[in-house]
Structure 1
Amino acid sequence: MAGSLVGRRVLITRSADRARPLASLLSSLGAEPLVLPLIDFERATDQAALDAALDDLVAGAYDWLVISSITTLRMITEKAAQRGSTPAALIPAGTRVATIGPSSRQALEALGIPVTLAPKDNQSAEGLVALWTAKRVRVLLPQADIAAPGLREGLAAAGADVTSVIAYHTVDYPARAERRLAADLPPAVGRSTPAAPQELSPPQARRELDAGTIDAVVAASPSAARRIAATLLPLGRCRFIAIGRPTAAEATARGIPVAANAKVPTPDGIAAALGAVFANEGNTR
């Protein structure tokens, strides 16, 4: 199935730094990765509320910290640096950490933060809620301003006392330079940082789509699907690959046919979804 990716041109709708792991894998499989950033992230407007929540975290007020995205971890890394500390030092020994995806777990562990709970099969908010058994516990949940309520409500329904705070704002790319959340995270243990893939401008991406020279576009979030619907349609022969059911649902709601949904939100899972699409087409162009 990996052979079906040879020569395929795949557009990743993330910034180059966030697209590197997937782009590196696709290159190794013979594909040509391209990036077109559509969304970006800015620091939370209400820094006082965020700082107060982190002060309580450091003081041991929470039994659990739930990290639902890599971007949340970037926020914590930036906040730790501002305090002359490390992300691991912000989390007391008695506070357990839960997360959703393998990328977040790997980044947490690379920072020396052990993960107590993370879904293996359904790597989503629903998957974490399904595993949750801790009742009458205090949970800190830093999230994006546009985060769906499902995780917060699911944890609360399971018996947790959830404090939700806005960790960052999701904005159209590019974020304002003075507000952009861009703290560097270390590579996963045993992995080097791959080179940045080629980045397209929106006009370049439009010309490529019109010419039919992009084989697939990958969207990692519902907000990316919304931006694709607003800025890149029609996709022509380009196949839409979703990462996660919420992304696929958002694309479908906006009239974008979903060629495949990555079963696992990792570079390997996305490559497998791409490979399946092209293998089913007989690897013809």
Structure 2
Amino acid sequence: MTAEAKPLSELRVLVPRGGTWGNLVATALREQGAHTVIAPLVDFAPTSEEERLIEVLKLLESGHYDWMTATSATVVDVLAHHNAVIHPNTRVAAVGEATIQAFSDAGYQVSRTPSDENHTTAGLLEVWPEIDTGEVLRVLTLRSDVAKPVLTSGLIDRGHDVTQVVAFRTIGVPASAHIREDVESGRINALLVASARIGREVAAQFPKLPPETIVACVGPHTHMEAVAAGLRHSPSHQNSAAKRALIETVESAIDQSDMLD
């Protein structure tokens, strides 16, 4: 397929998250012809459980836990921020392509992941034989302030000793003056909205979008929350081929579980 024939060849897309997530998404978009600009509009910050987090990270390094779970690539950033490491005897169970890739890039082996047919937190519980042997396992679950504790509930229901810590929360990051200028002028002519939190940032930071700018919200919940936050875009793009191709490309590269902040 030539560059001219690719479905996203006329788009310069703002990718609103960095790290492993941003790189995976940007690569997929470029393969479809898009020019990408990675400009994180969200980042992670400590929560009220920071002291408890430091305590459990020390236990993690000591090998206290049999397993740890993660459903966000940001967990790897949290480990790096605290200079924490996972003991070699502690195995990792993870959900989400970006999450799995982030652990791999950091040098950690992921021992359990969901199947391709059901790549969700509930799906992980279905293909995790060690949790159904009758042995009580010590499991550390690190998650964001917006993630639903599906894994925690499933493990507790099976009788395991689960330590759950809200390890980070998501905060907005102001775009640079250069990025704002490119968006407002239309030089960046497509915005990717991959979560409700990002939708709120896009609505607040770019209140006057050019009519030709495509705003692609991944998932109905994200779209609903973004509109509620005041995000507006041209109705003419609702069923455009470019917008559909943009969303489909992102969904092919990133699991739904990776869309949460």
TM-score where L is the length of structure 2: 0.70
Whole-Å separation in 2 of the counterparts to 1:152 and 1:265: 26
Whole-Å separation in 2 of the counterparts to 1:233 and 1:159: 49
SS in structure 1 at match of 2:169: strand
Query: Is 2:57 aligned against 1:71?
Result: no
Whole-Å separation in 2 of the counterparts to 1:115 and 1:162: 19
Query: Is 2:252 aligned against 1:249?
Result: no
Checking the alignment, whether the CA contact within 8 Å between 1:126 and 1:150 is kept in structure 2 is yes
Whole-Å separation in 2 of the counterparts to 1:100 and 1:16: 17
Q: 1:103 aligns with which of 95, 98, 105?
A: 98
Could you give the per-residue CA deviations for residues 168-226 of structure 1, whole angstroms, max 9, x where no partner exists? 22111159xxxxxxxxxxxxxxxxxxxxxx99533542342xx9x61x32233332233
Whole-Å separation in 2 of the counterparts to 1:173 and 1:142: 23
Q: Which amino acid aligns with 1:47?
A: E
Taking only the aligned residue pairs, the percentage that are identical comes to 29
SS in structure 2 at match of 1:22: helix
Whole-Å separation in 2 of the counterparts to 1:110 and 1:36: 21
Greater shift, 230-239 or 22-31, is seen at: 230-239
Query: Is 2:206 aligned against 1:226?
Result: no
Whole-Å separation in 1 of the counterparts to 2:47 and 2:109: 26
Q: In 2 relative to 1, CA 225–265 (structure 1 residues): closer, same or farther, beyond 3 Å?
A: farther
Whole-Å separation in 1 of the counterparts to 2:42 and 2:95: 21
Q: 1:56 aligns with which of 56, 59, 70?
A: 59
Query: Is 2:118 aligned against 1:119?
Result: no
Q: Which runs of 5 or more structure 2 residues have no equivalent in the other structure? A: 232-237
Whole-Å separation in 1 of the counterparts to 2:31 and 2:226: 33
Checking the alignment, whether the CA contact within 8 Å between 1:145 and 1:166 is kept in structure 2 is yes
Checking the alignment, whether the CA contact within 8 Å between 2:76 and 2:106 is kept in structure 1 is no
CA shift at 1:32, angstroms?
1.4
Q: 1:6 aligns with which of 6, 9, 23?
A: 9
TM-score where L is the length of structure 1: 0.65
Checking the alignment, whether the CA contact within 8 Å between 1:35 and 1:199 is kept in structure 2 is no
- Higher helix proportion, which one? 2
SS in structure 1 at match of 2:98: helix
Match in the other structure for 2:144: 144
Q: In 2 relative to 1, CA 265–128 (structure 1 residues): closer, same or farther, beyond 3 Å?
A: farther
Whole-Å separation in 1 of the counterparts to 2:101 and 2:17: 19
Q: Which amino acid aligns with 1:252?
A: M
Whole-Å separation in 2 of the counterparts to 1:67 and 1:164: 11
Q: 1:217 aligns with which of 185, 191, 216?
A: 191
SS in structure 1 at match of 2:114: coil
Whole-Å separation in 1 of the counterparts to 2:80 and 2:19: 19
CA shift at 1:59, angstroms?
3.0
Match in the other structure for 1:240: 216
Checking the alignment, whether the CA contact within 8 Å between 1:67 and 1:98 is kept in structure 2 is yes
Q: State how 1:18-57 maps to structure 2 within 5 Å.
A: 19-57=22-60
Whole-Å separation in 2 of the counterparts to 1:61 and 1:16: 29
Q: Alpha carbon RMSD of aligned pairs, Å?
A: 3.6
Checking the alignment, whether the CA contact within 8 Å between 2:25 and 2:253 is kept in structure 1 is no
SS in structure 1 at match of 2:112: coil
Q: In 2 relative to 1, CA 202–125 (structure 1 residues): closer, same or farther, beyond 3 Å?
A: farther
Q: In 2 relative to 1, CA 202–3 (structure 1 residues): closer, same or farther, beyond 3 Å?
A: same
Checking the alignment, whether the CA contact within 8 Å between 2:199 and 2:225 is kept in structure 1 is no
Whole-Å separation in 1 of the counterparts to 2:100 and 2:177: 27
Whole-Å separation in 2 of the counterparts to 1:97 and 1:165: 16
